[in-house]
Amino acid sequence: MAVKNRRIFLKQTSLLGMGLITAPLSLTKGKCSLTPPQTQGPFYPLQFPLDQNNNLTVIDGHKKAAFGETIVIRGCVLTEDCQPLRARVEIWQACASGRYNHDYDPNPAPIDPNFQYWGYATTDDQGKYSFITIKPGGYPVTDDWVRPPHIHFKITAPKLPPLITQLYFSEEEKLNQKDRILQRVPPHQRNLVMMDLKADDSLKVRNGQFNIILNQTPELV
């Protein structure tokens, strides 16, 4: 998809501003299951891109868009009581080749100069957020371990402990089953960090829902 067409897509969906395509979430009385925390990993950005927004597929001033499959991630940030939160949501990830834009990444796969690698969104009054990004590639860690495609999340909200976690794709079943980091998550909680990608004819890209539930225990100061 050309950069021009992607910008038209953004304008039509209003993703960069309001995140309006986020599907409504039925808030029920009771408790929502906390999103399991996971390791931050070694590739949190050392330097942040000049272009900072929730669309990682197009960088201002670049003639080409990022390589790979464009996807949309949308969801809500909620409390344990299933109430919406105002929060900052950061993501960082590998590009389609499986390479991070990080000095310490030993992966010989090519860097994508047209991919943003990191972005952030701020939730609205209903706790909604959204991102346009690329489905990341997996990458080798050791001779017998390949990390499945995944996206790192960091969520911060006033007076609450921050949450760092990772999001996986349910369609990567074989790699997910062998991933040493995902397997640290208790089996009954793994579905809470898993996302289904579904086709959407109106958006022309696959999209998924990832709701994030934060611990309400106040952060000690």
Taking a C-beta distance cutoff of 8 angstroms, is the pair 67, 57 a contact? no
- Per DSSP bridges, beta strands 88-92 and 212-213 are unpaired
Asked whether 102 and 65 are in contact (CB, 8 A), the reply is: no
Closest CA to 155 of 165, 147, 145: 165
Could you tell me where the DSSP H helices lie in 39-182? 173-178
Distances (CA, A) of 140 to 62, 66, 104, 105, 150: 29, 22, 14, 11, 13
Cite the active site residues.
100, 139, 147, 150, 152
Q: Output the CA–CA distances (angstroms, integers) from residue 57 to 3, 16, 64, 141, 198, in the order listed.
A: 9, 12, 9, 25, 19
Single-letter residue type at 29: K
